């Protein structure tokens, strides 16, 4: 049995849920459309280029949570998941998850996208364990701030190490990590079996150089025959 870790955006789903949530807010008229859409796109481009200021982005992305009633936010989130996320679930990802579950592996999603957005997506895949950036709440309302360390780049490694202290029966011995992004190289380099999934150009080149497995979850065929 192994600890099997999955990135979420552009790995288990065929787009970026953080970026799509921003688009959803614009489409619903919940934020200033022109300014918010422009900033949302810029942050996403910075992310893809590996130069995202994660703290600046979190202050931007969590502000709508602070500006709205929590119960209303949960209703909007349910609409978002139905309209934007469910069509992006990947059959091959579901098969890969099922394969590892049948092996008795512990399944964990680790994502930079905040928990408010990603927790219901993890539930859609039936994955119990989730490490994500945590929005702060006080008196039942979001504050617009985040708690602890952002789950991004080296922060993912730190948060995983903290998680392993909470679950001492788990370890990185014979561990796996599936990701699409060069932003995840710190964690990919730590596990036993790093797997590049529909990788960006930088990660693909690194994976080829280091002889890592490269797979696609956006094709009709199940990729699990490559492993175990």
Catalytic residues: 7, 9
Kind of pairing, strands 141-147 and 3-6? unpaired
DSSP string, 97-159: HHHHHHTT-EEEEEESS-HHHHHHHHHHTT--EEEE-EEEEETTEEEEEEESS-SSTHHHHHH
What whole-number distance in Å separates Cα of residue 186 and Cα of residue 190?
7
Q: For residue 9, which phi and psi values (nearest 5 degrees)?
A: -70, 130
Query: Token match 């998850």: residue?
Result: 97
> Is residue 71 within 8 Å of 25, Cβ to Cβ?
no
């Amino acid at each position: 049995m192994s600890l099997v870790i999955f990135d979420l955006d552009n790995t288990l789903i065929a787009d970026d849920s953080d970026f799509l949530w921003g688009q959803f807010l614009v489409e619903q008229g919940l934020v200033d459309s022109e300014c918010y859409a422009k900033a949302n796109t810029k942050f996403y481009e910075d992310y893809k280029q590996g130069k995202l200021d994660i703290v600046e982005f979190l202050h931007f992305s969590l502000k709508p949570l602070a500006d709205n009633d929590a119960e209303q936010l949960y209703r909007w989130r349910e609409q978002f998941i139905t309209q934007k996320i469910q069509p992006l679930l990947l059959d091959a990802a579901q098969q890969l998850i099922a394969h590892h579950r049948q092996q008795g592996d512990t399944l964990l999603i680790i994502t930079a996208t905040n928990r408010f957005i990603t927790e219901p997506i993890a539930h859609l895949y039936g994955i119990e364990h989730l490490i994500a950036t945590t929005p702060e709440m006080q008196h039942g309302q979001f504050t617009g701030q985040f708690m602890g360390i952002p789950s991004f780049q080296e922060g993912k490694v730190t948060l995983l190490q903290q998680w392993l202290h909470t679950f001492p029966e788990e370890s990185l011995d014979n561990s796996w990590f599936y990701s699409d992004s060069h932003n995840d190289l710190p964690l990919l380099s730590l596990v036993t079996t790093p797997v590049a999934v529909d990788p960006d150009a930088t990660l693909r080149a690194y994976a080829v150089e280091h002889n890592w497995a490269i797979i696609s979850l956006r094709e009709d065929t199940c990729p699990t025959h490559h492993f175990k």
